[in-house]
Structure 1
Amino acid sequence: MTTVTSLSRLCVSIARRTVDEALPAATAAGRTADMIEIRLDALRDRNTAMAAVNSLPAAVATPLLFTNRAAWEGGEAREPEQQRLAPLLAALADNRAWVDIELRTAPDLRRQVIAAARRESADDSRVIVSWHDFAATPDAATLRAILREQHESGADVGKMVTMARSPLDVLRVLALQEQAAELDFPLIAFCMGESGKISRLATCLLGGFMTYAAEDDGAATAPGQLPASTLRQLEQLLQ
Structure 2
Amino acid sequence: KTLEKIVKKGFQLGADIVKIATFAQKTEDNMTLLNLLKSNKPLAVMCMGEKGKVSRIAGQMLGSQLTFVAAGNQNKTAPGQLTLKEYQTIESIIKS
Aligned residues: 95
User: What amino acid maps onto 1:162 in structure 2?
Assistant: T
Take 1:195 and 1:209, find their aligned partners in 2: how far apart are those partners?
21
Following superposition, the deviation at residue 151 of structure 1 comes to: 1.3
- Larger strand proportion, structure 1 or 2? 1
Equivalent residue number for residue 93 of structure 2 = 237
Is 1:175 matched up with 2:31? no
RMSD of equivalent CA atoms: 1.1
Following superposition, the deviation at residue 229 of structure 1 comes to: 1.1
User: What amino acid maps onto 1:144 in structure 2?
Assistant: E
Structure scoring higher RCO (CA < 8 A, sep ≥ 6) equals 2
Q: C-alpha offsets along residues 99-130 of structure 1, whole Å, 9 cap, x if unaligned?
A: xxxxxxxxxxxxxxxxxxxxxxxxxxxxxxxx
Structure 2: tracts of 5 or more residues without a match? none
- Larger helix proportion, structure 1 or 2? 2
Q: Which has the larger radius of gyration?
A: 1
Q: C-alpha offsets along residues 40-67 of structure 1, whole Å, 9 cap, x if unaligned?
A: xxxxxxxxxxxxxxxxxxxxxxxxxxxx
Take 2:23 and 2:74, find their aligned partners in 1: how far apart are those partners?
22
Equivalent residue number for residue 53 of structure 1 = none
Equivalent residue number for residue 42 of structure 2 = 186
Equivalent residue number for residue 10 of structure 2 = 150
Take 1:175 and 1:162, find their aligned partners in 2: how far apart are those partners?
13
Q: Which of the numbers 54, 74, 88 marks the counterpart of 1:198?
A: 54
| Identical residues among aligned pairs (%) | 36
User: What amino acid maps onto 2:9 in structure 1?
Assistant: E
Question: Runs of 4 or more off by more than 3 Å in structure 1?
Answer: none
